[in-house]
Amino acid sequence: MKRAFCLATACVIVWLTTGPLIASTSVGVFAIVDEITFEPTDKVPERVRISGMFVVPVPVSSGLHKAPQRGYLYFSLIPGREQAVRKDWADLKAVAGTGQVVGFGQYWMTKSATGAIHWSLEVQVHEKGEAALPEPYPVPNEKGIVKTFDSEADTRPRFGEASSTIIERLRQAYRQ
């Protein structure tokens, strides 16, 4: 009994210490982007409106995503990460209107200063015509905008759905 407890404790410690490393490349938002609008200007944007079809994380989950939703996401820059965020925005603009599935942002967010507590990204998809305040852009994925989903382990959250399943649901909803 004592040996089983020690083994279970060791497994939990390994999971807690390696979890952020394993999950750090997981995709937060899967999207088919129709249009990008920068504010106040295209040259030095501070906010972005991304229109299209999206699959976003279920809040406070272990790798689950919501059903595909058509609408728009409205984001503002993250202080201290302006360069990485603007690069993501430029890459999203480049794929807008192509019908290509892309992924962006990290799924897991750190809630404490020590980095010990993680939770799923929370993103609001707004309906066309709905007024919204900009949310901070998700922490950019370390791979940038993910355009190919070759490795399931690199593109899905730990314990979550396979990216191929999410992508297929997104494509089917987009075609309807």
Predicted confidence at residue 120, as pLDDT, reads 82
**pLDDT tens-digit profile of 112-168?**
555 556 678 899 999 999 999 999 999 898 888 988 776 555 555 555 677 888 899
Higher pLDDT, 171 or 109: 171
**Which pLDDT belongs to residue 131?**
94
- Which of 50-59, 69-78, 105-114 has the least mean pLDDT? 105-114
Q: Are 170 and 101 in contact (CB under 8 A)?
A: yes
Residue bearing tokens 């899905």: 156
Q: Is the pLDDT of residue 78 over 50?
A: yes
Q: Which residues have C-beta within 8 Å of that of residue 56, sequence separation ≥ 6?
A: 28, 29, 65, 66, 69, 121, 123, 125
Q: Which of 6-10, 102-106, 107-111, 164-168 has the lowest mean pLDDT?
A: 6-10
The predicted model scores a pTM of 0.78
Calpha distance 108→121 (Å, rounded): 6
Average pLDDT over every residue of 65-75: 96
Tell me how far apart the alpha carbons of residues 157 and 93 are, in angstroms, rounded to a whole number: 25
Mean pLDDT of the chain: 81
Using DSSP bridges, classify how beta strands 118-120 and 108-110 pair: parallel, antiparallel or unpaired. antiparallel
The sign one gets for the Cα dihedral 94, 100, 105, 106 is negative
- Rounded distance between C-alpha atoms, residue 90 and residue 160, angstroms: 28
Number of domains in the chain: 1
Locus of tokens 């430029």: 90
Calpha distance 143→26 (Å, rounded)? 9
Domain assignment of residue 28, given as a range: 2-175
Give, as one character, the DSSP assignment of residue 143: T
Exposure string (b/e) for 37-48, b if CB count within 10 Å is 16 or more?
A: ebeeeeeebebb
pLDDT attached to residue 74:
98
